Amino acid sequence: MAFALGAGSPLLGDPALNYQEHELNERLKRLYPAVNEEETPLPRSWSPKDKYSYIGLSQNNLRVHYKGHGKNHKDAASVRATHPIPAACGIYYFEVKIVSKGRDGYMGIGLSAQGVNMNRLPGWDKHSYGYHGDDGHSFCSSGTGQPYGPTFTTGDVIGCCVNLINNTCFYTKNGHSLGVAFTDLPPNLYPTVGLQTPGEIVDANFGQQPFVFDIEDYMSEWRAKIHSMIARFPIGERLGEWQAVLQNMVSSYLVHHGYCATATAFARATETIIQEDPNSIKNRQRIQKLVLAGRVGEAIDATQQLYPGLLEHNPNLLFMLKCRQFVEMVNGTDSEVRCFSVRSPKSQDSYPGSPSPSPRHGANNPHLHSTGADSPTCSNGVTPPNKTKTHSKYPSISSASSSSSSSPSSVNYSESNSTDSTKSQPHSGTSNQETRCVTICRLTRPSTWCVSTACHFTTVKLSVPCVFCSDSEMEIEAEHYSNGVAENSSSRIMNGTYKHQEILQVDDNSLVESCASKQFCGGNQAATERMIQFGRELQALNEQLCRQYGKNTMHKKMLQDAFSLLAYSDPWDCPMGQQLDPMQRESICSALNSAILESQNLPKQPPLMLALGQATECVQLMARVRSGSCSFARVDNFLH
Amino acid sequence: MTCCGQPEVTATSRHYVDRLFDPDPQKVLQGVIDMKNAVIGNNKQKANLIVLGAVPRLLYLLQQSSSSDMLRTECAVVLGSLAMGTENNIKSLVDCHIIPALLQGLLSPNVSFIEACLRCLRTVFISPVTPVQLLYSDLTVIPHFICLLSQSLHTQEYITQIFSHCCKTPDHQTVLFNHGAIQNIAPLLNSSSPKVRMQALKCFSVLAYENTQVSMTLVNVLVDGEPLTQVFVRMMQRDKPIEMQLTAAKCLTYMCRAGAIRTDDSSIVLKTLPCLVRMCSKDRLLEERVEGAETLAFLVEPDVDLQRIASVTDHLLAMLADYFKYPSSVSTIADIKRVSWAEITEHLIYAPSRLNNKSFSVQLDHDLKHAHELRQAAFRLYASLGSNDEDIRKKITETENMMDRIVSGLSESSIKVRLAAVRCLHSLSRSVQQLRTSFHDHAVWKPLMKLLQNAPDEVLIMASSTLCNLLLEFSPSKEPILESGVIELLCSLTQSDSPALRVNGIWALMNMAFQADQKVKMEIVRSLGTDHLFRLLSDPDPNVLMKTLGLLRNLLSTRPHIDQLMGSHGKQIMQAVTLILEGEHSIEVKDQTLCILANIADGNTAKELIMTNDDMLQKIKYYMGHSHVKLQLAATFCISNLIWNEEDGSQERQDKLREMGFVDILHKLSQATDPNLCDRAKTAMQQYLA
């Protein structure tokens, strides 16, 4: 796949342009991370449709020149950018370089609302604002200007910054802030330039190039301001209440995910009460571990035994579990195939450490993915299985098997939990060579790679210490396409706790076992037959469900995906191979956990995640109601 | 002592002290610990214990080698706590020789004891009442401090804090520099402790201030592989604490002024300057605004490009106008509500000193002090901004009520404000346009003259320098100033011990004499006295000499004036001219002297003073052949005046000079490469032909 990307990408037509495009996307994403471009696209060029006829555009609609008579002010002409400035920018900035001042240098740089007359310079009319080069005056919706700053002419770079938090605007000249020009700005203004005499040419920079003015420094000041505002938010007399709420949140989170010992210790320390019966927690924990270890069949049995009727009432869940069981059979991890293996698990009670111990909070909102929004959404714990691209398995080659995590702490974690590293080993045997190719390929075509994926996934970069070193020494470098930073953070949060519990239960046998080979069902003939048989049963179950509840496209897809694994000689290295990634167990694990909790009349989502989800939604709502501070109040800024 | 008059020195206080004398060391330790807990935050208790003589006993216990480390540490902690009280406490502690005792304690191997000693030393040294010199009197102290920097975060914090408070003179800077303060403190800029980072940064700002040696060293220092300047730039990022931004900007400013960083370096132009402008914003604390403006004034003073950039950054000129609006009417009223207006005004008018005893006076003093500081900072920054660029000066004078503010600033009670106001006025007085308009409209000369009557030298220098500009011939203020009897005043300045004042005095007289009428000129000569005038011609300061020659030249202009002055003082003047032409002087001085001679040669009767002086003619001849064109030109001009046709006796003079060989020289000069000299020589030659 990586080869295909490198070789035949149509995006490589004009490397320079492509590079600029890439730069622009990167810079815009860095400057305005809170903007959801599907809802509110950012201005990237001047609009060929929203301009007066005396304006000519060139150079990808970034260069503006005057082509009228330029006799008097009636010949003034303006152009607006393609889109208004989204409030979620918080602080928006663009620059205009004066390429030529033309005859008289009557140039205006500023902002205007949609529909403002384009046969005018910015600033002359209502909802129009401008800074003019000939006299250095600012025009605030008025034909007469106010003394504002210095004049500007050929060679100068003028910047315009809109602060959507306090609705003000200031300009810069050659990187120097000139001070506030306008206050009480209305929303939805477009970057605008106006020219009035022949020969005037200006170039816009909406982020295509680095800015002359250090806008990020200015943003950092506002970020610090907003953060300190949040930190100092008064909670007044509710202090005690506040603490109780926080403790409850932590406790319920631990209980939800079955961290029994930690939850008990926490409850003891804080003198709070755990609502759920400790045995029930342990049961859930056991079932979760089975799923995460890939022993889905046992998990189903345990569930049916401990929670009779649960799966019967949730046929969809049962079907999902069975599908997963099938995949795990292919993987050779499910007990139904493992039992055919010579080396069977020594003890029933031992559960090998899960590859990715911490719960993942899959985002269910498709547009979140596409904009790279990296906040956890918790209303639905199920991650659509096909969301993660094939590449995501490469990271698992590294010792850090919780592959979405890029922090050193997670590496430490997997080192201490030896089961983890072995879990991922089956991949490494065959993939080393390939990974290197991918790496080389990626390095030579960085732009292609990023462009094709950037719109779907947040990229998390690891360092590239040595690309060409020997196989054994090779340190993995990778861009992980995970569902987001928040996941990383939360997995890091939980690592510590989980580790201590898991290490105690490591089953040495399963260690040896799982690295035995990388063949269908562990390479055992009987197991393969059992798998085929199970596949038939699964097919039958699907048909039965169809008859009972009507067609279900999701089921059909799941079944297809699972069965398609059999079509490849090496399922681990095929387009559907990512299903085999242990990470994929997490979503089903969390769905099962939620279902159990729901059946016990407990919340299916921990309040902590609900609160996080609500906060995330609130911030998005702020963007929609044009409160610019949302840009600096992002939830993930507070998740460490 | 403050508490002597207090009725009760309580029994408990006495009990605490008594326990220090217990024979059982364990009980003494417990006594010290109890004392520690008793004094925390209790100023009265602290004062009581000091009066009861706890300090010498604590010091004794601290110094005793038989005391346990624990006891010695607790003693240092209690002393540190006592030092945290009032200034009087510090004075008492210093009087008990606490400093040498604590410094001695630093030699101990016990880190927590060292830390306690340093904490106490820190508290003592940062107090304004402690003489800084005490840190430097023992030469081994500073090296030991530097050694202790590696001990712990606390030693780092306290030592850097002591350094940053006690480095007040170039000598102190040199001592610290020579003991490797820079290399040892630089790594602390990346310390994990914010307090250490901040104090280390402060150290660099005091070390670099007006110190070329330190500044030049700093640019080459690396901190974890990063140049120090970059570390400072990082510390100016806008999300950093304001104090850190401001102090880092100071460091870079001082390095720039010392020539270690170019003024067009991006770290100055794009980072330091904007950072300092931000510090002047209304959002900042008063102290930050003051320091920001002062530092910015210092930064931009020598560089017109920086002045231009600063003047358009963030509406700085308008921002500074806000400095004059403090205390705002609101805060003043709020402060004053507590006492009746009448009472305040009565006190302010009749007995300002008595206000000190009033409860409201503290706040009022505080406000007034800030108001003064703000105003002087604003004036100083305006002065720097306007020192070169005419457009900026115009913008400054157009800032709201600017001239009124300067005028009232000139007569403020605070010397600092007066000085800053006159600096600002001086800066603006370099503008011809302002001299003609706003200066005249606001009659700035009046307060300026008043200021000159009785002021410290600092103010006098600025004021007289401003007066020089106001006396330029195109200044409309010249007339009224003349009428106010300024000549006497200026003449008295020329007798000052300060060279700067002598220059300004004679400079002002020179400007005054330019194209003045006979009466003024005679008044100047009379008032100055010829003896003093000629004494000034042998002044050790070349500037004074130059301006005195300039004055003579201005006095000796237009024919009747020349003849009259030469008639009365010809002999002395010719003597002085001879003396200077024979002496070791700069080209400028000789040129000016030859110009005077040329002026004399323009007189009707005065000419003869030269013509009859063969020695002088030989000198002119010499300078016509001088290697420096300027002197050749002036000498030729002189000859040209002597042989000018249409005057009586020109024929004889021409003949005499021809005999002396001047025609040959002129002939030669008419072939000179310098066009001016060539023209001048040809014009002179034509006098012979006519």
What would the pLDDT profile of A188-205 be if each residue is shown by its tens digit?
999 999 999 999 999 999
Residue B301 has a pLDDT of 94
CA atoms within 13 A on the CB side of A596: 29
Give residues 280 to 319 of B whose Cβ lies within 8 Å of A.
Answer: 309, 312-315, 319
DSSP β-bridge partners for residue A91:
A163
Whole-number average pLDDT of chain B: 86
Contacts of B313 in chain A (CB under 8 A): 176-179
DSSP state of B16: H
Residue of A nearest to B240 (CA): A221
User: What are the φ/ψ torsions at residue B630 (nearest 5 degrees)?
Assistant: -60, -40
Which one of A149, A170, A221 has the shortest CB-CB distance to B312?
A149
CA distances (Å), origin A611, targets A249, A634, B334, B358: 9, 14, 45, 56
Pairing of strands A63-66, A55-58: antiparallel
Higher-confidence position of A160 and A488: A160
Q: Of A120-134, A394-408, B344-358, where does mean pLDDT reach its minimum?
A: A394-408
Higher-confidence position of B2 and B568: B568
Residue A395 has a pLDDT of 39
Single-letter code of the amino acid located at B283: D
- Non-local (6+) Cβ contacts of B226 within 8 A are none
Chain A residues bordering chain B (beta-carbon distance below 8 Å): 149-150, 170, 173, 175-180, 214, 217-218, 220-221, 223-224
DSSP state of A84: P
Distance CA A67, CA B499 (A): 65
- Which pair of tokens denotes residue B23? 């024979």
Q: Of A386-400, B44-58, B446-460, B583-597, where does mean pLDDT reach its minimum?
A: A386-400
Distance CA A40, CA B429 (A): 56
* pLDDT class of B3 with cuts at 50, 70, 90: very low
Residue A521 has a pLDDT of 67
What would the pLDDT profile of A35-79 be if each residue is shown by its tens digit?
889 989 999 999 999 999 999 999 999 999 999 998 988 999 999
Query: Is B238 in Cβ contact with A176 (below 8 Å)?
Result: no
Higher-confidence position of B548 and A365: B548
Residue B281 has a pLDDT of 93
Asked if the C-beta of B270 comes within 8 angstroms of chain A's C-beta atoms, the answer is yes
DSSP state of A390: G
User: What are the φ/ψ torsions at residue B264 (nearest 5 degrees)?
Assistant: -100, 10
| Inter-residue contact A545 to A315 (CB < 8 Å) | yes
Residue A131 has a pLDDT of 97
Query: Is B314 in Cβ contact with A178 (below 8 Å)?
Result: yes
Of A412, A401, A408, A434, the residue nearest A514 (C-alpha): A401
Of A485, A26, A44, A30, the residue nearest A219 (C-alpha): A30
If phi > 0 it is left, if psi is from -120 to 50 it is alpha, else beta; for residue A127 that is left
* pLDDT class of B690 with cuts at 50, 70, 90: low
* pLDDT class of A340 with cuts at 50, 70, 90: low
CA A467 to the chain's CA centroid: 26
User: What are the φ/ψ torsions at residue A481 (nearest 5 degrees)?
Assistant: -105, 85
| Inter-residue contact A531 to A520 (CB < 8 Å) | yes
User: What are the φ/ψ torsions at residue A600 (nearest 5 degrees)?
Assistant: -95, 15
- Non-local (6+) Cβ contacts of B680 within 8 A are B633, B636, B637, B640, B669
* pLDDT class of A443 with cuts at 50, 70, 90: very low
Residue A146 has a pLDDT of 92
How distant is the Cα of B308 from the closest Cα of chain A, in angstroms? 10
Higher-confidence position of A253 and A376: A253
pLDDT at B179 exceeding the cut of 80: yes
Four-point Cα dihedral B543, B545, B547, B553, nearest 10: -150
pLDDT at B39 exceeding the cut of 80: yes
- Which pair of tokens denotes residue B456? 């410290």
Residue A385: cis peptide before it, omega within 30 degrees of 0: no
Q: Of A425-434, A454-463, B16-25, B480-489, where does mean pLDDT reach its minimum?
A: A454-463
Residue B363 has a pLDDT of 60
What would the pLDDT profile of B653-681 be if each residue is shown by its tens digit?
888 877 888 888 888 888 878 888 888 88
Distance CA A260, CA A402 (A): 22
Distance CA B464, CA B425 (A): 11
pLDDT at A212 exceeding the cut of 80: yes
Distance CA A222, CA A46 (A): 28
- Which pair of tokens denotes residue B628? 């420096």
Q: Of A170-184, A403-417, B229-243, where does mean pLDDT reach its minimum?
A: A403-417
Distance CA B32, CA B50 (A): 14
Residue B291 has a pLDDT of 96
Contacts of A178 in chain B (CB under 8 A): 312-315
Residue A526 has a pLDDT of 78
Whole-number average pLDDT of chain A: 73
* pLDDT class of A13 with cuts at 50, 70, 90: low
Distance CA A153, CA A200 (A): 10
Higher-confidence position of B441 and A321: A321
Residue A16 has a pLDDT of 67
| Inter-residue contact A390 to A578 (CB < 8 Å) | yes
Residue B312 has a pLDDT of 94
Query: Is A221 in Cβ contact with B314 (below 8 Å)?
Result: no
3-state secondary structure B370-398: HHHHHHHHHHHHHHHHCCCCHHHHHHHHH
- Which pair of tokens denotes residue B303? 């560089």
Residue of A nearest to B245 (CA): A221
Number of other CB atoms surrounding residue A31 within 10 Å: 20
pLDDT above 70 covers a percentage of chain B that reads 93
What would the pLDDT profile of B86-109 be if each residue is shown by its tens digit?
899 999 999 999 999 999 999 999
Q: Of A325-334, A382-391, B129-138, B243-252, where does mean pLDDT reach its minimum?
A: A382-391
Of A101, A232, A80, A223, the residue nearest A163 (C-alpha): A223
pTM of the model: 0.72
Distance CA A163, CA A627 (A): 11
> Residue B421: helix, strand or coil by DSSP?
helix
Distance CA B245, CA B219 (A): 18
* pLDDT class of A610 with cuts at 50, 70, 90: confident
pLDDT at B216 exceeding the cut of 90: yes
Distance CA B108, CA B148 (A): 11
Distance CA B411, CA B404 (A): 11
Residue of A nearest to B266 (CA): A175
pLDDT at B235 exceeding the cut of 70: yes
Q: Of A448-462, A482-496, B215-229, where does mean pLDDT reach its minimum?
A: A448-462
Residue A338 has a pLDDT of 66
pLDDT at A360 exceeding the cut of 70: no
Residue A595 has a pLDDT of 87
What would the pLDDT profile of A582-598 be if each residue is shown by its tens digit?
888 888 888 888 888 88
Which one of A173, A179, A221 has the shortest CB-CB distance to B315?
A179
Of A425, A313, A447, the residue nearest A18 (C-alpha): A447
Contacts of A176 in chain B (CB under 8 A): 270, 274, 309, 312-313
Contacts of A170 in chain B (CB under 8 A): 314
Which one of A150, A177, A224 has the shortest CB-CB distance to B239?
A224
3-state secondary structure B76-105: HHHHHHHHCCCHHHHHHHHHCCHHHHHHHH
Query: Is A180 in Cβ contact with B313 (below 8 Å)?
Result: no
CB neighbour class for B400 (10 Å; exposed up to 12, middle 13-18, buried from 19)? exposed
* pLDDT class of B615 with cuts at 50, 70, 90: confident
Higher-confidence position of B387 and A492: B387
Residue A15 has a pLDDT of 65
Contacts of A214 in chain B (CB under 8 A): 270
Residue A311 has a pLDDT of 86
- Which pair of tokens denotes residue B100? 């040498």
Distance CA B604, CA B562 (A): 8
pLDDT at A222 exceeding the cut of 60: yes
CA A208 to the chain's CA centroid: 23
Query: Is A150 in Cβ contact with B313 (below 8 Å)?
Result: no
